[in-house]
Every structure is written in C-alpha cells, then in structure tokens.
Amino acid sequence: MNWNKANTILITAFIILNIFLFISYYEDIFNNRYEVSNDEEFIEDVKNILGEKNIELNCQLPEEMYILSPLDAEYEIIDINKDLLGRYLGPGVEPVEGITEYTNENGEKLEVIEGKKLHYTLRERVGSSLNDKNIITKDINKFIADKKIDADGYLENYRNIEHNGLLVVYTKKYNNFSMDNSYMHFYFDEKGIYKFEMQNIISAKETAEKIRTFSAAEALPKLLPYNIENKKIIHMEMTYYREEDENWQYISRINSYPVWKVIFSDGTQKHLSGINTYDYEFD
C-alpha cells in the first residue's frame, strides 16, 4: 500500500469534512432554527466577558437581525462664500481663498474642516447648571431657522449631560435608520447654545448588494479590542456609518455600512461592524 497516498487522501477528506461542518454550522446559526438573541446562555457569556473590563450591559438588547444594502452616500462640500459667512458671522466678514477659519468682532468663530465639517463657536461655555430643558428644542428650532440650515430629514437621536453641559445630537435618517456621518451637534450651557457642529449627507442610495447583519449580542464582543473599560452600556441600535480616517478631507462620497451603535452612559459611543461576512445576499 502507498502510505503517502493514503495519508494524502485522509487529510484531504478531513479538510473537506471540516469545511462542510463549518458551513453547516453557520447555516444553522443564521437561519430561523437558531436565534442567538434569544439564547440566554450566550448573552450571559457576553455579559461575563464584558464584565472582565468592567463594562456593564444596562439595556435590553435589540433582537432584530437585518438584511440591508450599504448606502452610496454623497456629502455636501461646503462653499465658504459671503452668504455662508453672513448667516453665521453677520455682515462685514469677507471670504478669502484658501482660508477656512473666520471670526467676527463679537468673538464668534466659524471653521470648515476637511471641506465637510462646519464648526461654529458662539462663545466659551459658561455656568454651572443647565437652562430649562423644556425650551431646548425651541432653541434648536430657532437656531436652525436663524441660520437658514437645511435640516430636512434630521431627527433628534440622543441627549447627553456631561460636566453640567448638554449635548443634543441630531442625525439624518434613511428608512428610519440613522446615518451617523450626517449629523448636527448642539452644545448647551445655562445661557443656551454655545457651539454647533454639522456634517451633511445630501444624497444616499442603496447599492445592489444586500448584507445580513449579526445580532446585537454577537456584535458586543467586538468592544474588547478597544481601550474601553469601566463603562455602562445604555443603548444599542442599528445605524449606517463609515469610519472617518486620515483621508477624510479628500472624500466626497462613501459606502456607508450597517453597523451597531453602542451608546454609553457618559455619552460616548462606539460603532461595531454588524456585517455577517458568511452570509451575503444579492438582488
């Protein structure tokens, strides 16, 4: 008997068997016979793993899994012109080619970063307590009207109180999912809005490819590689997002992917890939 040939056949058969079992395993997980979001033992294991870094899960995990297309998203490229400067800084401030930061005689500052991010600072934060929370939405609506901001499609996403200040985050929606790269940030102190930041997606359309996402429970262990400790998770939701890297200033459009957003009690957040790379669907 040719033992070398026999060994080769056995090894090949073993590899094929393992591939078959591997594929079968993932088919079982992601079809209707198995819902990991209902697996209490799995979720308890996830809690224990996170607990090793003192990360507490303090919310009900979403049970949904989604089949979503990535978005082809186009950004608004901000033209620093007389109209823009007039809306934020008033008359008398003229645009200069190559200059991206402007101030007026009242100390207000407008800066355009990477061609897409608008930062407007009215003043330094003051005070030790917040204004009446009931008028915050009114203040935001008045600010949007006064500055003639196109807020179509934007809805409030969350609020966070930190160091006696308040951050109110609005994001643009696509089919009820937040596009987290398209946002308005309103910073409040006891006198009202003291800072505003915005980045705007002007159009988004679905790509042909569809992706089945992981569950929220399966996404959570992806927190572990990050330097995150001693935090409390208060909310998770499916969003569209793309990591902003050092090349962001050259980008006018992106593919935005479905990801799980984790919000912590201190107002910080982390986006975790929700893509199940073993299960793609195509039109």
User: Which tens digit of pLDDT belongs to each residue from 120-140?
Assistant: 999 998 876 675 666 899 999
* Confidence at 37, pLDDT banded by 50, 70, 90: low
Does residue 199 contact residue 117 with C-beta atoms inside 8 Å? yes
Q: Strand 201-206 vs strand 192-199: parallel, antiparallel, or unpaired?
A: unpaired
Is 193 contained in some domain?
no
d(CA 57, CA 234): 7
Mean pLDDT, rounded, for 70-99? 96
Does residue 225 contact residue 239 with C-beta atoms inside 8 Å? no
Between 200 and 28, residue with greater pLDDT: 200
pTM of structure: 0.80
Q: Give percent above pLDDT 70 in the chain.
A: 80
- Amino acid 14: pLDDT: 46
Mean pLDDT of the chain: 84
Q: What is the CATH number of the domain that holds 217?
A: 2.40.128
Is 216 contained in some domain?
yes
- Residue written as token pair 């993932």: 26
Domain count for the chain: 1
Is 17 contained in some domain?
no
pLDDT of 22 strictly over 80: no
- Amino acid 100: pLDDT: 97
Does residue 185 contact residue 169 with C-beta atoms inside 8 Å? yes
User: Which structural domain range is residue 226 located in?
Assistant: 35-72+205-282
Is 26 contained in some domain?
no
* Confidence at 13, pLDDT banded by 50, 70, 90: very low
Q: What confidence tens digit (pLDDT) does each residue in 223-263 have?
A: 989 999 999 999 999 999 999 988 998 999 999 999 999 99
- Amino acid 160: pLDDT: 83
Total count of residues recorded for the chain: 283
Is 215 contained in some domain?
yes
Residue 170: both structure tokens together: 């609005």
Is 83 contained in some domain?
no
Residue type, 248: W
d(CA 249, CA 75): 11
Q: What confidence tens digit (pLDDT) does each residue in 188-224 have?
A: 988 899 999 999 999 999 998 898 998 999 899 999 8
- Amino acid 133: pLDDT: 65
Number of Cβ within a 10 Å radius of residue 29 = 17
